[in-house]
Structure 1
Amino acid sequence: MIGKPRKIGKTIEDIEEGQSLSVTESIEDDRLLLYLGLTNDANPLYIQHDYAQTTEYQKPIVPSAMLMGIITSAISKHLPGPGSHVVNFSINFIEPVYHYETLTFDFEVIKVDKMKDVATISVEAINGPGDRVLDAVVMVKPPLAKIEESKE
C-alpha cells in the first residue's frame, strides 16, 4: 500500500527500561506444518511420532527457529513495533516445547542505548505447567522516525 500512512512502532525516544509485554501463543499443527513447508525442513523429530518415540523426547518437538520467529514477530508487531529490526539474538532453549503446548512469552526492556539507537529486550517463555522453556536477549533497532500522515 504505497502512499498510505502506516503505523510505526516506538522510536528510541519512546522506549524506557522496564517496559514490558506478554504474548501467549498456542502451538498447533497448522502453524507447525506451515513453518515446516515454508522452510522445507523435513526433520522427523518435528513431525513423525513413530520416530520421536525412539528419542529422549518421546514425542515430536517444536522447531527452535519457529520459537525464535514467535519472539521476533512480537517485537515487530508490538515492542518496539513496526519498523524495528533485530540486530542481535541470543537464546537458551531450556526445555523442549511439544506440539499443542501454550506458551507465555514475557518481554522486558532491560537497556536503552540512545547513542547506538538500540534497545535490549529480555524474553522468557513459560509453558502451561509453569516451566521455563527458554530465555533470550534480543537487541533491537527501533524505527528511526514516525511517518507523518498525509494532509490530503
Structure 2
Amino acid sequence: MILGKKRETPREWEAVSVGETDEFLRRVEDRDVLLYLGVTEDTNPLFLQSVYAEQTPYGHVVVPPGLLLGWVTGRVSKRLPGPGSRVVGQRITFPEAARHSSAIRLRLKVIGKDDGRHQLTLEVIGEDEDGRRVIDGELDVLGPPPTNRLFRDAYENF
C-alpha cells in the first residue's frame, strides 16, 4: 500500500486491446498546482500569480502543462495499461491553456498494439468544461512485463 491506498493488480498483456479507452475527470485545485511547482521548482508567475497572469494575453492564471501530462502518465501507470507499464515516448501538444479550478476530462485510447515489442500507442485527449482542447497527442508505452504468478501479489504491502 502507498499512503493507505491499495495498488492495482497488473493486467495481462493479452487483456489490453486496440480501441480500449479510459476516461477520467480531474478538477484543478490549488494544492495540485502548488505541489507540482514545489517538486519541479518551476517559478513561472503565469502559474501562480493572478496579478501577473491577468496582464498577459491569457487574462488568468493557467495550469502548468507538465501537471496535465503528469495526470495522464499517472493514469497510464494505474489503469491503461496499468501497473508495471512505462511511457517511453510522447508527441504531445497543449493547444489551449487550462484555467485554474477548471474540470479537465482526460481520455486515453489504445490506437496501436505491437505484440513483438510489447508496446502500445495511446491517443491522449484532454478538454476543459468549455470543450477547449488543453492536451492532445500520443504516448508510446511499454506494457507491464510478465510476472511470475507465484509472486504476483507479493508486492501488495509495499
Is this a same-fold pair by TM over 0.5? yes
1:145 maps to what in 2?
146
Secondary structure of 2:71 counterpart: helix
Instruction: Give the total of aligned pairs.
Output: 148
Provide the TM-score with structure 1 as the length reference: 0.90
Q: Judge conservation of contact 1:21–1:108 (CA < 8 Å) in 2.
A: yes
Q: Judge conservation of contact 2:94–2:133 (CA < 8 Å) in 1.
A: no
2:29 maps to what in 1?
28
Q: Which runs of 5+ in 1 are unaligned?
A: none
**Alpha-carbon deviation of 1:149?**
4.8
Q: Judge conservation of contact 2:127–2:135 (CA < 8 Å) in 1.
A: yes
2:17 maps to what in 1?
16
2:111 maps to what in 1?
110
Secondary structure of 2:76 counterpart: helix
Percent sequence identity is 35
Provide the TM-score with structure 2 as the length reference: 0.87
Matches of 1:147 and 1:93 in 2, distance apart? 40
Q: Which runs of 5+ in 2 are unaligned?
A: 2-6, 154-158
Cα distance change of structure 1 residues 66 and 147 upon mapping to structure 2, 3 Å threshold: farther
Q: Judge conservation of contact 1:105–1:126 (CA < 8 Å) in 2.
A: yes
Q: Judge conservation of contact 1:112–1:120 (CA < 8 Å) in 2.
A: yes
2:4 maps to what in 1?
none
Name whichever of 35-44 and 7-16 sits farther off.
7-16
Matches of 2:123 and 2:64 in 1, distance apart? 21
